[in-house]
Structure 1
Amino acid sequence: MWNYNFYIYITTNPTKTVLYVGVTNDLSRRIQEHTENKGNKNSFAGKYYCHNLIYYEHFNDINYAIEREKEIKKWSRKKKNLLIESFNPDWRFLNNEINQE
């Protein structure tokens, strides 16, 4: 059986006022792309400086990851905040931790 890695993740801007939910097969690379893209008005994450990782989940099946991403995107901000706080109570930026893995 193949072992695949997929992630849903949430990034935020430096003041933690905007959330971005995404899915990727390479979390470290994707966060780096968000960082390089900050300020780019052609993308939501770039426009709102959402390059700080605050939450992620791992999946082995892309279909489950996409399903979970769609589910979370529909949630209220309050519900997303509770999810983030259950994983990362202090809303620490996890970029460096991911890059070290």
Structure 2
Amino acid sequence: MPKQPCVYVLASQPNGTIYVGVTSNLIARLVQHRSGAIPGFTQRNHVHVLVRYEFFATMLEAIAREKQLKRWHRLWKVNLIESENPDWADLAVGLGLKPLNSRPPNGGC
């Protein structure tokens, strides 16, 4: 997949913790999140399931959309996810990444 500005939404599980991010290389960014290479919110909260993504022509457009989504209420984000992904399926698998294990690392619940 060529580099293209993108806003992506990750979740810990269906209806779980949600994270909104922006990148110019979605696959590389997902690999970073999933491997734990990026310390912070997604690593601490095991937020690694890609539940939505949107591509844009420019990074400025993508950043504007990311900021918009981050200001939204949680229910609006949930409705946005479920409008196209009602089962909260891991869309990264359709992009060529392997499915995630169902259990978080370090034996967590």
TM-score (structure 2 length as normaliser): 0.80
State the 4+ residue runs in structure 1 displaced beyond 2 angstroms: none
1:37-52 equivalence runs, <5 A = 37=36, 42-52=39-49
Relative distance call for 1:4 and 1:13 in structure 2 (3 A) is: closer
1:4, distance to aligned residue in structure 2 (A): 6.2
TM-score (structure 1 length as normaliser): 0.86
Letter in 2 for 1:49: H
Q: Which runs of 5+ in 2 are unaligned?
A: 98-109
- Does residue 1:30 correspond to 2:29, yes or no? yes
1:15, distance to aligned residue in structure 2 (A): 5.4
- Does residue 1:78 correspond to 2:75, yes or no? yes
1:89, distance to aligned residue in structure 2 (A): 1.6
1:1-101 equivalence runs, <5 A = 5-14=4-13, 16-37=15-36, 42-99=39-96
Distance 1:85 1:29 in 2: 25
Fraction of identical pairs, as percent: 34
Would the aligned equivalents of 2:19 and 2:47 in 1 still touch at CA under 8 Å?
Answer: yes
